[in-house]
C-alpha cells in the first residue's frame, strides 16, 4: 500500500488554480489513512452516503447535502460509514484565484477560511437555507467543470465568489482565532514527522516515547499538543490508523486475519479484534464480506 502524504500540495494550471476531485468512496473507507493538509482551500459537498469528517480536534457527521469548508492549514481526513458509498466532490482552489495581495478588499473573500474562532464549525448543514443555496451553486460549478463549454472558467469563478459571499454571511459572527495562522503552521510542522513516522512504522511496536522523540518533546507535553491538534491521544490515533490499514488489507488481499493483525502492529489477535470492534462496530470477517 502506498504511504499517505501528510502535506500534499496539488499543482494547478498557472492561469486557473482550480480543480475538482470526484470522490466515490466505499463503506469504511478512510481518506489518506491519516491527517493531511495542503496549500489550497477546499469546499466539499456530500451528494450521497454518510461519514465522519475529522478536522483537527473536531469530528463532523456528514450526510447527503452537507458541506464542509477547509483551509490550507487544517489537518483533516474522512471516514465513510456504511451501508452505501459516499459520493463527495471536492472543490479545490488556491487563494490567488479570488484574492490579489495588491487589493486589500479581495481579502474579505478569504475571511471564512482564515478568520476562525475556537468554536468554528466547518460543517454547513443541508437543512439550512444558506447550505442549500451553496450546495446548488457547487453542483452548477461541477457541471461547468465537467462540460467545459465556452467561458466555463469565468462562470466557475463567478459562482465561487457567489459561494464565498454566502460563506461570509454565514460566518459573520466569527472572530479571529486566538491562535495565529503562523503559530498553527509551526505546530503542524512539529506533528508532521510524527504522522509520517506512524504511517511508515505502524506494523512495528511503537511507544509513546518513540512518538514524542519525533517531535522533540517530552511525552507529557507531546500528548497534550497531539490531543489538542487531533482530538485523540497519540495511541488512540495510532490504533485508528492501524485499523484503517487493516480494513484496506481485508478488502484488497486474501491474507488471513491473524496475519493482517500482525502486519498492522497488533501482536495479539484478541486485542486486534477488540480494538477493531471498538472503532468499526463490526468484525474483520464481516468487513471482508462487504
Q: Read off the pLDDT of residues 108-133 as tens digits, 9 standing for 90 and up.
A: 667 777 777 667 899 999 999 999 99
According to the model, what pLDDT value does residue 12 have? 83
Q: Taking 70 as the threshold, does the pLDDT of residue 181 lie above it?
A: no
Residue 22: which residues within 8 A CB-CB, separation 6 or more? 89
Q: Which residue has the higher pLDDT, 240 or 176?
A: 240
According to the model, what pLDDT value does residue 38 have? 81
> Could you count the other beta carbons within 10 Å of the beta carbon of residue 53?
22
Q: Which CATH superfamily is domain 18-170 in?
A: Regulatory protein AraC (2.60.120.280)
Residue 48 CA to residue 206 CA, distance in Å, equals: 37
According to the model, what pLDDT value does residue 114 have? 72
Q: Which residue has the higher pLDDT, 255 or 28?
A: 255
Q: Grid coordinates representing 285?
A: 470477517
According to the model, what pLDDT value does residue 1 have? 37
Across residues 195-224, what is the average pLDDT? 92
Across residues 196-208, what is the average pLDDT? 93
CA angle 230, 234, 236 (to 5 degrees): 90
Q: Which residue has the higher pLDDT, 7 or 129?
A: 129
Fold match between domain 18-170 and domain 181-289: no
CATH topology of domain 181-289: Arc Repressor Mutant, subunit A (1.10.10)
Q: Taking 80 as the threshold, does the pLDDT of residue 173 lie above it?
A: no
Domain limits, the chain: 18-170, 181-289
Asked whether the beta carbons of 163 and 98 are under 8 A apart, the reply is: no
According to the model, what pLDDT value does residue 107 have? 63
According to the model, what pLDDT value does residue 53 have? 94
Task: Give the SS3 label for residue 281.
Answer: coil
Confidence of residue 8 (pLDDT cuts 50, 70, 90): low
Q: How far is CA 274 from CA 54, 205, 242, 266, in A?
A: 23, 18, 13, 11
Q: How far is CA 167 from CA 76, 148, 193, in A?
A: 20, 26, 33
Q: Of 103-117, 209-223, 234-248, give the lowest mean pLDDT range.
A: 103-117
Q: Which residue has the higher pLDDT, 6 or 85?
A: 85
Across residues 1-27, what is the average pLDDT? 73
Q: Which residue has the higher pLDDT, 38 or 134?
A: 134
Q: Read off the pLDDT of residues 243-281 as tens digits, 9 standing for 90 and up.
A: 988 988 998 899 999 999 999 999 999 999 999 998 888
Q: What are phi and psi of 238, to 5 degrees?
A: -60, -45
CA angle 95, 100, 106 (to 5 degrees): 85
Across residues 205-230, what is the average pLDDT? 90
Q: Taking 50 as the threshold, does the pLDDT of residue 174 lie above it?
A: yes
% of the chain beyond a pLDDT of 90? 52
According to the model, what pLDDT value does residue 3 have? 38
Residue 50 CA to residue 59 CA, distance in Å, equals: 13
According to the model, what pLDDT value does residue 71 have? 85
Residue burial 27-48, b: 16+ Cβ < 10 Å; e: rest: bbbbbbbbbbbbebbbbbbbbe
pTM of the model: 0.71
Q: Which residue has the higher pLDDT, 9 or 158?
A: 158
Q: Taking 90 as the threshold, does the pLDDT of residue 61 lie above it?
A: yes
According to the model, what pLDDT value does residue 120 have? 84
Amino acid at each position: 500500500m502506498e504511504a499517505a502524504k501528510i502535506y500534499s500540495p496539488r499543482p494547478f494550471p498557472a492561469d486557473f488554480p482550480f480543480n475538482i476531485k470526484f470522490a466515490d468512496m466505499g463503506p469504511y473507507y478512510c481518506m489518506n489513512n491519516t491527517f493531511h493538509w495542503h496549500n489550497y482551500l477546499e469546499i466539499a459537498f456530500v451528494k450521497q452516503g454518510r461519514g465522519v469528517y475529522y478536522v483537527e480536534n473536531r469530528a463532523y457527521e456528514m450526510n447527503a447535502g452537507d458541506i464542509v469548508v477547509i483551509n490550507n492549514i487544517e489537518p483533516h481526513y474522512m471516514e465513510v460509514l456504511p451501508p452505501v458509498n459516499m459520493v463527495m466532490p471536492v472543490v479545490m482552489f488556491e487563494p490567488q484565484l479570488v484574492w490579489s495581495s495588491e487589493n486589500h478588499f479581495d481579502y474579505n473573500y478569504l475571511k471564512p477560511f482564515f478568520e476562525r474562532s475556537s468554536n468554528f464549525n466547518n460543517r454547513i448543514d443541508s437543512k439550512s437555507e444558506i447550505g442549500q443555496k451553496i450546495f446548488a451553486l457547487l453542483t452548477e460549478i461541477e457541471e461547468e467543470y465537467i462540460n467545459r463549454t465556452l467561458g466555463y472558467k469565468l462562470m466557475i469563478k463567478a459562482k465561487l465568489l457567489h459561494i464565498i459571499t454566502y460563506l461570509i454571511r454565514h460566518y459573520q459572527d466569527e472572530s479571529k482565532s486566538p491562535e495565529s495562522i503562523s503559530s498553527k503552521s509551526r505546530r503542524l510542522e512539529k506533528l508532521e514527522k510524527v504522522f509520517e513516522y506512524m504511517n511508515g512504522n505502524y506494523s512495528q511496536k511503537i511507544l509513546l516515547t518513540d512518538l514524542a522523540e519525533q517531535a522533540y518533546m517530552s511525552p507529557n507535553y507531546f500528548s497534550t499538543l497531539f490531543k489538542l491538534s487531533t482530538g485523540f491521544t497519540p495511541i488512540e490515533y495510532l490504533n485508528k490508523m492501524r485499523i484503517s490499514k487493516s480494513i484496506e488489507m481485508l478488502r484488497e488481499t486474501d491474507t488471513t486475519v491473524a496475519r493482517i493483525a500482525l502486519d498492522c502492529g497488533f501482536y495479539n489477535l484478541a486485542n486486534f479484534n477488540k480494538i477493531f470492534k471498538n472503532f468499526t462496530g463490526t468484525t474483520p470477517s464481516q468487513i471482508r464480506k462487504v
